Amino acid sequence: MDKKRILLKDINKVEPFRTPEGYFENFVGGIMSQLPNVVQEETKSVGLWTKVRPWIYMAAMIAGLALMIRVFTVSQSQQGIKSYASGGLNLTSSSDIDEFYGYYEDGLARLAYDDAFYSTDYTEDNNSK
């Protein structure tokens, strides 16, 4: 198999392909004349609800997810009190008793604060000044 080696200097430098005279001067006009006439339709106005609806749906999903997380995750102190209530208050160690009373003391302190805060009449103080 004797292959003949072709060198660049042996290749003729003449381009074999040519475009017809005046082809590119009429190119755009020829293409545009072949395209069909397109009538643009009037744009429809989009209502506010259509624009805002995806954002409202996403906010509702996030709120639902946050509520589910809040409901299904119980804090450690609430879990302890629930176990006391279901077990019939079987407080066997001093740490159980301290945790039980600490939970109720915190709740009572919050209730006392709320009662004191909301029972104070601030309108009389403002009128006397």
pLDDT of residue 81: 54
Query: How high is the mean pLDDT of the chain?
Result: 77
**What average pLDDT does the segment 95-116 reach?**
77
pLDDT confidence bin for 97, thresholds 50/70/90: confident
**What average pLDDT does the segment 52-70 reach?**
94
End-to-end CA distance of the chain: 117
pLDDT of residue 1: 47
Q: Does the pLDDT of residue 106 top 90, yes or no?
A: no
Per-residue tokens: 25? 């001067």
Q: Are 99 and 76 in contact (CB under 8 A)?
A: no
pTM, 2 dp: 0.31
* pLDDT above 70: percentage of residues in the chain: 74
**What average pLDDT does the segment 47-53 reach?**
94
pLDDT of residue 24: 86
Per-residue tokens: 123? 């309108």
Q: Are 82 and 74 in contact (CB under 8 A)?
A: yes
Domain spans in the chain, listed from the N-terminal domain onward: 48-117
Token pair 């009128």: residue: 127
